[in-house]
Structure 1
């Protein structure tokens, strides 16, 4: 797996919240979404900050959104 990709399991994360998080991060990176079976493959480029850190922060933000609905 390339360092600029994140694979998100849709049994864990909702498509709606993935899209909300992508929208929240639009000023920090260009994020392309591709559905791959039961996963959403996100590709990050043009990151304002370090790509690895951006992806980790994106995932943390997504986890927080998912936890808010429970």
Structure 2
């Protein structure tokens, strides 16, 4: 990390720092925040119904519909 970026991160309040690190993906691997971001991305990919995204080649509720029995 560059010195300018490190200095900026030190001045940011905690809520902004959280979003800054997520946006720039600056958490190290094998840390809890990194693992939580990966889980959130995978959950979005697997659980978002294709109908919600307007996918013309897919229909139905996807994995979420299958899990809920619809």
TM, length-normalised to structure 2: 0.31
User: Max radius of gyration: which structure?
Assistant: 2
Considering Cα pairs closer than 8 Å and 6+ residues apart, tell me whether 1 or 2 has the greater RCO: 1
TM, length-normalised to structure 1: 0.31
